Amino acid sequence: MSRKRAVVATAAVLAGALVLTACGTNRSETGGTAGGSCDTSKGTLVIGMIAPLSGGLSALGLGMRNSAELAVDQANQKCTVPGYRLAFQAEDDQATAQIAGQAATKLSSDPNVVGVVGTLNSSTSQSVQPILAGKKIVQVSPANTNPTLTLGEAPTTDPKRPFPGYFRVATTDLVQGPFAAQYMVQKAGKKNIAVIDDGKTYGAGLAEQFAKEATRLGATIVAREKVGEKDTDFSGVIAKIRPLNPDAVYYGGEYPVAGPLSAQLAGAGLAIPLMGGDGIVDADFVSLGGRPGDLATNVGAPAESLPSATAFIADYEAAGFAEEFSAYGVLTYDVTNVIINALAKVADGGAFDDAKRQELIDAVQQTSLDGANGKVAFDQYGDTTNMLLTIYSVEGSDFAPVETGTFRSS
């Protein structure tokens, strides 16, 4: 091979590497069909999404993308927003705060972007919030649960809303953690619980709230451990908690770690249930090692049991998406409609411009929507007023609902 050809070959390999990286980090997909007979004389407005479309959490993220796209398509067909065609633009954050920040910058630099649905992870929202707030772009998350996102640095003692343009329909860890603890201690009768988390905003916060309530209810937290979100071998942690004889493990984090962790617990002779939050509610948890009897809490009620969600489920299936709508599909569909409905109200009075962005935020604040997941409304912090949660347990190859309840601090 001549020197020149060799150089060309190397350049080709490097160029290939760059192209592939580019694919990985900047995948954006545009959806939304033009409404056939609607008046779209004023142009196109974009609803953005920031969610993990690739990587370990993509099962959840792709379900979110499809559900939001469905809501946008329906709005276009029904001419919900007078004078405008809606476009949908989903950006991949790979569940990484830094990449989510890039996605937010990209969306906020487009003057047609009016609102953003997402993110999935609390940690990514932390970097997205200030960027979108700078442009007064309304953000509604179906999935963020960390209390500080709406309540500020001291959520329990001195709540202060940091971003007036940020809303969410997922109940916070302040609700979900204790709800899980009440079930595990009072209903399942577990007394010696090992608590493990992945050290991320979501996982650590949830585990903290769980541990607090479980202790208050009289259970002993026998161990408080952390694992890395990219770890695959948990033998060290498991050997550490094994001699403490826990009768259950609570894991704050997501299914890519929780599934293998559950399998390795059993592998080390600890056949005790693992419980987690909404981040582990996916069939992938089971395929990665989750065992029958493992438990989880999730926000809202199971879609299949909700009369209000039947239309969504039918429409989703009719749309023929390749992926399941997954744990956040119903809530994502609702929050997308929250933005669309608020937009319809604001756009009714004339063209949408920068001056209308505050009006849009105010309209979202005043939302009162009968969504697929039930009533959607926000309190003065931008948190949902709907405190419905469900306990799930693994049966066969997926989670099945055990009971749905409204959280009460006892």
Partner 1 sequence: MLPTLLSQVANGLVLGSLIGLIALGYTMVYGIIQLINFAHGEIFMVGAYGGLAALTYLLPAAIANQWYLALPIALVAGAVIAALVAVAAERFAYRPLRDAPRLAPLITALGVSVALQEAVRVFYPDATAALPFPSIFIEGTLEIPVPGGTVPIKYAGILLALVSLALAAGLQVFVDRSRTGRAMRATAQDRDIARLMGIDPDRVIVLTFLIGGALAGVGGVLYGGYLNNINIDMGFQNGIFAFTAAVLGGIGSIRGAVVGGLAIGLVKSLGGQYLPGGTAYDYVWIFVVLIVVLVFRPQGFFGETERVRA
Comparing CA positions, the residue from 292, 303, 296, 291 lying closest to residue 279 is 296
17 counts as binding partner 1 under rule CB under 8 A:
yes
Please check whether residue 262 is in contact with residue 296, taking contact to mean a CB–CB distance below 8 angstroms.
Answer: no
Quick one: 7 or 314, whose CB is closer to partner 1? 7
Quick one: 380 or 397, whose CB is closer to partner 1? 397
235 counts as binding partner 1 under rule CB under 8 A:
yes
273 counts as binding partner 1 under rule CB under 8 A:
no
The 3-state DSSP class for residue 231 equals coil
Quick one: 191 exposed, middle or buried, by C-beta within 10 A (0-12, 13-18, 19+)? middle
- Rounded to 10 degrees, what is the CA torsion of 186, 191, 192, 194? 0
Please check whether residue 377 is in contact with residue 367, taking contact to mean a CB–CB distance below 8 angstroms.
Answer: yes
Comparing CA positions, the residue from 347, 407, 361, 379 lying closest to residue 140 is 361
315 counts as binding partner 1 under rule CB under 8 A:
no
Stretch that binds partner 1, among 48-56, 101-109, 144-152, 154-162 (CB under 8 A): 48-56
Quick note: the x/- pattern for partner 1 over 323-342, rule CB under 8 A, is --------------------
Q: How far is the CB of 398 from partner 1 (least distance, A)?
A: 14
CA within 13 Å, CB half, 388: 16
Ramachandran quadrant class, 9 (left: phi over 0; alpha: psi -120 to 50; beta: rest):
alpha
Quick note: the x/- pattern for partner 1 over 215-234, rule CB under 8 A, is ----------xxxx-xxxx-
Largest CA distance in the chain: 78
Stretch that binds partner 1, among 5-13, 107-115, 120-128, 344-352 (CB under 8 A): 5-13
Both tokens of 384, joined, read: 């949902």
Q: Residue 90's CB: how many other CB atoms inside 10 A?
A: 26
Q: How far is the CB of 394 from partner 1 (least distance, A)?
A: 15
246 counts as binding partner 1 under rule CB under 8 A:
no
Stretch that binds partner 1, among 4-12, 179-187, 293-301, 386-394 (CB under 8 A): 4-12
Please list, residue by residue across 317-334, b when 16 or more beta carbons sit within 10 angstroms of its beta carbon and e when fewer do.
eeeebeebbbbbbbbbbb
State which of positions 167-206 bind partner 1 (CB under 8 A).
199
79 counts as binding partner 1 under rule CB under 8 A:
no
256 counts as binding partner 1 under rule CB under 8 A:
yes
245 counts as binding partner 1 under rule CB under 8 A:
no
291 counts as binding partner 1 under rule CB under 8 A:
no
Comparing CA positions, the residue from 81, 105, 82, 76 lying closest to residue 93 is 105
58 counts as binding partner 1 under rule CB under 8 A:
yes
396 counts as binding partner 1 under rule CB under 8 A:
no
Q: Site residues (CB under 8 A) for partner 1? A: 1, 3, 6-7, 9-10, 13-14, 16-18, 20-21, 23-24, 54-59, 199, 225-228, 230-233, 235-237, 239-240, 242-243, 256, 259-260, 263-264, 267-269, 284, 287-289
